[in-house]
Copies of this chain bind each other. A is one copy, B any other.
């Protein structure tokens, strides 16, 4: 195991480290942790083969750093209340949540491999997932539960709110996770900014319709 640099805050030495993180996020997103090779990563980062071991200890610690970093930047770029007026209605908050979520997982390009990395993490969870669920997913779920609670009214119990929240989230994640099947089944579907906006609108309207009908039936 390589020695950790003694001054990790040194801005000068951080260049190679940053290049490695960026290159690694590319490769990990493209082919996954196992199939990714440190040789390929170092080549794209224009660094030496030993750079990964020197700066991160080993391949796995590099992966954990990548996953945490991409998660952080993605949530920073597309927060749950993305472009929302201060006193928004629950309907507006749901629409913003859905749209921001879609943009977050479909976002691509430098520093945006969050969606692909998380999808891989679902199929093959690593030890890094626990921290991410606790620190990032949990708060997100709380926000959604609050929105759903407002839409369902006080009649809904905690279980129902949880299930309804997942019914919303599931629709968002589906298009990303099942993209290989969706594109083969419906080749006309596009996932550019306009397509994602249409998707967000459908998911929002579908969910709002369900909430409306459910809260109506439950009211007494």
Q: Which A residues fall within an 8 A CB radius of B?
A: 32, 34-35, 119-125, 129-130, 133-134, 137-138, 141, 162-164, 166-167, 169-171, 173-175, 177-182, 184-186, 202-203, 205-207, 209-214, 217
Q: How far is the CA of A167 from the CA of B171 in the complex (A)?
A: 6
Chain B residue numbers with a CB within 8 Å of A166 are: 171, 174-175, 182
* Chain A interface mostly: helix
Is the CB–CB distance between B203 and A209 below 8 Å? no
* 10 further A-B pairs in the complex, CB-CB below 8 A; given A171-B171, A177-B177, A209-B213: A34-B34, A122-B178, A141-B185, A162-B186, A163-B202, A166-B175, A167-B203, A170-B175, A170-B178, A209-B209
Q: How far is the CA of A170 from the CA of B206 in the complex (A)?
A: 13
Is the CB–CB distance between B123 and A120 below 8 Å? yes
